[in-house]
Amino acid sequence: MATPNEKLAESLDALKALQEGGRRVFRSDDLSRVHRERLVANGFVQEVIRGWLISCSPSVRDGDSTPWYASFWEFCARYCNERFGEAWHLSPEQSLLLHGERTVIPEQVVVNSPKGTNNTMKLLFGTSLYDLKVPEMPAAADLVVRDGLRLFSPVTALVRVPESFFSRHPIEAQVVLGSLTDASDVLRLLLNGGHSAKAGYFAGAFRQTGRPKLADEIVSAMKGAGYDVRESNPFEAGQIVGPPRRAAAPIVGRVAMMWESMRGAIIKTFPAGPGLPKDKDGYLRFIDEIYQSDAYHSLSIEGYSVTPALIERVRQGDWDPEHHEDDRKSRDALAARGYWLAFQKVKATVAEVIAGGNAGALARTAHKDWYRELFQPCVAAGLIEAGALAGYRNSPVYLRTSRYVPPRWEAVRDAMPAFFDLLEKETEPSVRAVLGHWLFGYIHPYPDGNGRMARFLMNAMLASGGYPWTVIRVSDRNSYLRALDSASIDMDINPFSAFVAKRVQWSLEQHDLRFPAPDESYVFDRMVVVFWGQDGETRVRCAISREALDDHFGGDDKDKLEVFRANRRAIEREARRKYLAGDTEPDGSVLIRTGDLRRSVDVRGGL
């Protein structure tokens, strides 16, 4: 008789056969009842609606939306093909958003079909599909198929959306308008449909976006056909983004327009930069001093269980995968080693930046070296293939808990050169830092490590304005991710700009912490040893918990003050590390918990 493991393996074989070619969505009857129930029970597939399943993973936690968002558009395509055959298409609005490279998963997708029933079908995580009944299908020439989705062509979608779309989605409208090489396809639809009012705001849109010849052509052709055309501007004040561009890939136009639309808000709120440092050696020494805090927080944000002790072992060269099996196998040790190696490369880039080099140009060349160093230990340990270090991703990526989906991998090769062009041309260091971080994560060019890379890039760009290296704390993870989502989903950079500005302002204040007279005492009701540090003229209250003393300094059944005094230097070093990173309590004090000395932080991976 087969064992439970053998039975599960048999079911997984059946699932694997269905997943050929990257397929994630299945009809329930694609699997036998036995296989289906076994795979659902073990977390390998998940039900969307009755009769439909998606691939999942046993490691996915309750409430994790990643498997669904990764499958959303494939589900829409397969479900609609099953129900409507070829007689369906997405709305002109959704078509235009997708052509404009807006990759946010919509809360509701509207499907048009003569077989529709005007019904809302509720799906997972608050999403839904509405099947709108329409009299007939549009002409085949007006539709295109992209990733299995039946969309209106870019030109047809532009003509079919209402005028209000241009002001509600100005970036997407301008991206698609900018991708048109001439006005002939637009004119054909306008003339054939007798759309004189639409012709008026199309002429206005082209003129406002810096293409007056196309505007004149539309007005002239429509009037020549006997139509009365009154030109109008469909955009609201301040929505026109940047100078006219030659027709380019939509992702290129989108990146440029987002950059231009957001930079002003950053300049208004960011603290003024001090300028390139005169004491360059001192600037680089500070980077060395803050390394341990930076590594701890940056790795912890991404879900690695790291400790200051592990980071220090890596720094001192005590990490030895050749002779210690634990080091070779430890994901956390490999990540810490990779971070150390990459940090040295980033520091070398920063040295060139503060010497006066163009920060964007230097990062364009160096960022691939940073990435290779970040994952070299994993390649050496055999955990990932060497080909993973070759360059940008060639598959989709998804962010846990976020409706934002990074651009298709095919778009990355166009997006990254455009991104670095903007970094090179930007004159404001604050804009380079904020948009450099956010847009790198927005594009998500690598299969993993994008969060660490974005924070490295942010600090390299901060250096171009003389801002000090700034740590994003793991304790701020939730507000950090919310701010990033506000920019990526709502196109609102203000929360992220304010978040970074606050952290930079702390660093600008040039804090330090010394312990000339710690005056230690044991507070029984709080079970902590309190000691005092000095930051300039400010006295800073510090404390270490009894639990931390017991767990890490052998304090069980011993006088806690004596334990503190015997380990004073190590404890003060940890307090200083936390303080310099801005990792303080709401009242500005420092509390060392046992978790600060060995903490496993459970957060969203793949940031």
Q: Which amino acid is at 65?
A: S
H helix count then E strand count, the chain? 25, 13
Tell whether the model's pLDDT for residue 223 goes beyond 80.
yes
Tell whether the model's pLDDT for residue 103 goes beyond 90.
yes
Containing 522, the helix (H) or strand (E) segment is strand 521-523
| Distance between CA atoms of residues 106 and 128, nearest Å | 9
Catalogue all structural domains in the chain, each as residue range(s) with its CATH number.
Answer: 4-59 (no CATH), 86-224 (3.30.460), 250-508 (1.10.3290.10), 521-597 (3.30.160.140)
Tell whether the model's pLDDT for residue 522 goes beyond 60.
yes
Give the pLDDT score at 331.
Answer: 74
Give the pLDDT score at 310.
Answer: 56
Give the pLDDT score at 312.
Answer: 60
| Distance between CA atoms of residues 542 and 589, nearest Å | 6
Q: Which amino acid is at 83?
A: R
| Distance between CA atoms of residues 69 and 320, nearest Å | 40
Q: In angstroms, how far is CA 586 from the centroid of its own chain?
A: 28
Q: How many CB atoms lie within 10 A of CB 205?
A: 26
Q: Quick one: pLDDT band at residue 603, thresholds 50, 70, 90?
A: very low
Task: Identify the residue with better confidence: 201 or 60.
Answer: 201
> Among residues 294, 253, 578, which one has the least CA distance to residue 462?
294
- Here the tokens at position 51 are 């009769």
Rg (CA), the chain: 28
| Distance between CA atoms of residues 234 and 296, nearest Å | 49
Q: Quick one: pLDDT band at residue 600, thresholds 50, 70, 90?
A: very low
Q: Quick one: pLDDT band at residue 599, thresholds 50, 70, 90?
A: very low
| Distance between CA atoms of residues 576 and 572, nearest Å | 6
Exposure of 542 by Cβ count < 10 A (0-12 exposed, 13-18 middle, 19+ buried)?
A: buried
Give the pLDDT score at 413.
Answer: 95
| DSSP for 421-457, written as a single string | HHHHH---HHHHHHHHHHHHHHH--SSS-HHHHHHHH
pLDDT (tens digit per residue) in 265-274:
999 999 999 9
Tell me what the mean pLDDT of segment 48-77 comes to: 92
| Distance between CA atoms of residues 311 and 314, nearest Å | 5
Tell whether the model's pLDDT for residue 434 goes beyond 60.
yes
Give the pLDDT score at 307.
Answer: 56
Tell whether the model's pLDDT for residue 292 goes beyond 60.
yes
Tell whether the model's pLDDT for residue 432 goes beyond 80.
yes
Give the pLDDT score at 325.
Answer: 54
Give the pLDDT score at 301.
Answer: 84
When mean pLDDT is compared across 140-144, 515-519, 584-588, the lowest value belongs to 584-588
Tell whether the model's pLDDT for residue 216 goes beyond 70.
yes
Give the pLDDT score at 247.
Answer: 62
pLDDT (tens digit per residue) in 475-485:
899 999 999 99
Give the pLDDT score at 293.
Answer: 82
Give the pLDDT score at 366.
Answer: 97
Do residues 402 and 488 lie in contact, with contact meaning Cβ atoms separated by under 8 Å? yes
Do residues 222 and 186 lie in contact, with contact meaning Cβ atoms separated by under 8 Å? no
Give the pLDDT score at 607.
Answer: 35
| Distance between CA atoms of residues 83 and 69, nearest Å | 21
Tell whether the model's pLDDT for residue 306 goes beyond 80.
no
Q: Quick one: pLDDT band at residue 115, thresholds 50, 70, 90?
A: very high
| Distance between CA atoms of residues 530 and 521, nearest Å | 5
- Reduce the DSSP state of residue 213 to 3 states and report it: helix
Do residues 573 and 559 lie in contact, with contact meaning Cβ atoms separated by under 8 Å? no
| Distance between CA atoms of residues 558 and 544, nearest Å | 15
Give the pLDDT score at 382.
Answer: 80
Containing 121, the helix (H) or strand (E) segment is strand 119-122
Q: In 85-183, which ranges are continuous DSSP H helix?
A: 92-99, 154-160, 164-168, 170-178
Give the pLDDT score at 24.
Answer: 93
Tell whether the model's pLDDT for residue 93 goes beyond 80.
yes
**Long-range contacts from 239-244, C-beta under 8 angstroms, 24+ separation:** 239/167, 239/170, 240/170, 240/174, 240/208, 240/209, 241/170, 241/171, 241/174, 243/210, 244/178, 244/209, 244/210, 244/211
| Distance between CA atoms of residues 153 and 179, nearest Å | 12
In this structure, the dihedral spanned by the alpha carbons of residues 61, 65, 69 and 75, taken in order and rounded to 10 degrees, is 80
Tell me what the mean pLDDT of segment 338-366 comes to: 97
Q: Quick one: pLDDT band at residue 474, thresholds 50, 70, 90?
A: confident
Mean pLDDT (the chain) is 90
Give the pLDDT score at 316.
Answer: 62
Region for residue 503 given its phi and psi (left: phi exceeds 0; alpha: psi -120 to 50; beta: otherwise): alpha
Tell me what the mean pLDDT of segment 257-262 comes to: 95
Q: What is the pTM (predicted TM-score) of this model?
A: 0.86
Tell me what the mean pLDDT of segment 164-190 comes to: 94
Tell me what the mean pLDDT of segment 559-583 comes to: 91
Tell whether the model's pLDDT for residue 321 goes beyond 70.
no
> Among residues 463, 376, 452, 364, which one has the least CA distance to residue 416?
364
When mean pLDDT is compared across 19-28, 112-121, 505-514, the lowest value belongs to 505-514
| Distance between CA atoms of residues 503 and 290, nearest Å | 14
- Here the tokens at position 327 are 């080091």
Tell whether the model's pLDDT for residue 510 goes beyond 80.
no
Do residues 352 and 303 lie in contact, with contact meaning Cβ atoms separated by under 8 Å? no
Give the pLDDT score at 60.
Answer: 83
Give the pLDDT score at 9.
Answer: 85
Give the pLDDT score at 324.
Answer: 58
- Reduce the DSSP state of residue 263 to 3 states and report it: helix
